[in-house]
Amino acid sequence: MSIQFRDIEVKIGNKDILKKVSLKAEDNKITGIIGPNGSGKSTLIKTFFSLLPHHHGEIFLDDHNVKAMSSKEIARNVAYIGQDSNSMFDFTVEEIIKMGRFPHDSTTRNIKDIVYDALDTLKINEFAKRSIRTLSGGERKLVYLARSIAQNTDSIILDEPTNHLDIKHQYMIMNYLKSCNKTILVVIHDINLALRFCDKIYMMKEGTVYQSGSVHEVFTEQNIKSVFEVDGVINRDSKNNIFFTVEK
Ligand SMILES: Nc1ncnc2c1ncn2[C@@H]1O[C@H](COP(=O)(O)OP(=O)(O)OP(=O)(O)O)[C@@H](O)[C@H]1O
């Protein structure tokens, strides 16, 4: 299932936050959105779920304009893991994960089994009875990923999923996303994680797509300098993986 933004424009007050942004995330691929703070990454993904209105452009799920879809229908197809993992309410982890089943009217499987499979996948079974409010920021991220697993959608949109996570859990999440055979659209800040895991990158600057393509096409020293104002070097290790280091 592909996710496509066509010529999206967002204005807040007099400020143009997004200026004709187009992006396509495809089946079985991790598409990364990277860019400096304030460049419009979260704004773009929020428009998909109508969390922010867009003033121009269209958003499609395969050939379906999301404008014509109910929020429940969208949630049957696309899961969302936002930046903010705080919870206003004192739900248990089990209850949070169970919410992933809300868009689905029925299932042949026992819901408790679905919840426990999701906990198992991320090896967080011991959190099941805990209140979400007692978990650390990183632990909460894992719980919301487990909810998306229970939601069983073809696509997942994630806003900085590795934020707050230690290196083991950063790789656990990215490896899960790589192996799950879904359409993954992810806002990511870490250039080296993006280099390692993303199939396609959209590099944003000041509300526009500055560059898009494969990691090799986008992560050039020149593009990184122009967009992030950082001098650095693209290196290759002995296994021919490329990585970026900042020069002093
Ligand atoms: N409700 C709002 N009112 C005014 N300005 C807003 C509002 N929401 C977002 N903005 C502005 O829109 C711009 C883009 O914000 P957005 O959150 O999309 O950036 P981002 O690229 O996701 O940044 P970050 O990497 O810091 O999360 C920023 O300059 C932000 O200040």
Scanning 49-157, the segments in alpha helix (DSSP H) are: 71-77, 93-98, 111-121, 137-151
The pLDDT assigned to 245 comes to 92
3-state helix, strand, coil in the chain (%, to 5): 35, 30, 35
Per the structure, how many domains does the chain have?
1
Q: Whose CA is nearest to atom 30 of ligand 1?
A: 38
pLDDT of residue 128: 95
Residues 6+ apart with CB under 8 A from 167: none
Identify the sign of the CA torsion 159, 165, 171, 177: negative
160 Cα to the center of ligand 1, angstroms: 14
Minimum CA distance residue for ligand 1 atom 5: 12
Give this complex's ipTM: 0.96
CATH number at residue 162: 3.40.50.300
Pocket lined around ligand 1, Cβ cut-off 6 Å: 12, 17, 35, 37-43
| Residue having the nearest C-alpha atom to atom 25 of ligand 1 | 37
Model pLDDT for residues 22-31, shown as the tens digit of each residue: 999 999 999 9
CA of 41 to the centre of ligand 1 (A): 8
d(CA 155, CA 108): 21
Please tell me the residue having the least CA distance from ligand 1 atom 13. 38
Task: Classify strands 155-159 and 78-81 as parallel, antiparallel or unpaired.
Answer: parallel
* Residue 221, pLDDT score: 94
Report which protein residue has its CA nearest ligand 1's atom 24.
Answer: 37
In this prediction, residue 116 carries a pLDDT of 93
Structural domain containing residue 195: 3-246
pTM for the model:
0.94
What is the whole-number distance in angstroms between the Cα of residue 33 and the centre of ligand 1? 14
- Quick check: 36 and 54 in contact, CB under 8 A? no
* Regions of the chain where pLDDT drops below 50: none
pLDDT in tens, 52-90: 999 999 999 999 999 999 999 999 999 999 987 777 778
Contact between 31 and 199 (Cβ < 8 Å): yes
CA of 85 to the centre of ligand 1 (A): 18
3-state class (DSSP) for residue 138: helix
Structure tokens at 229: 């104002």
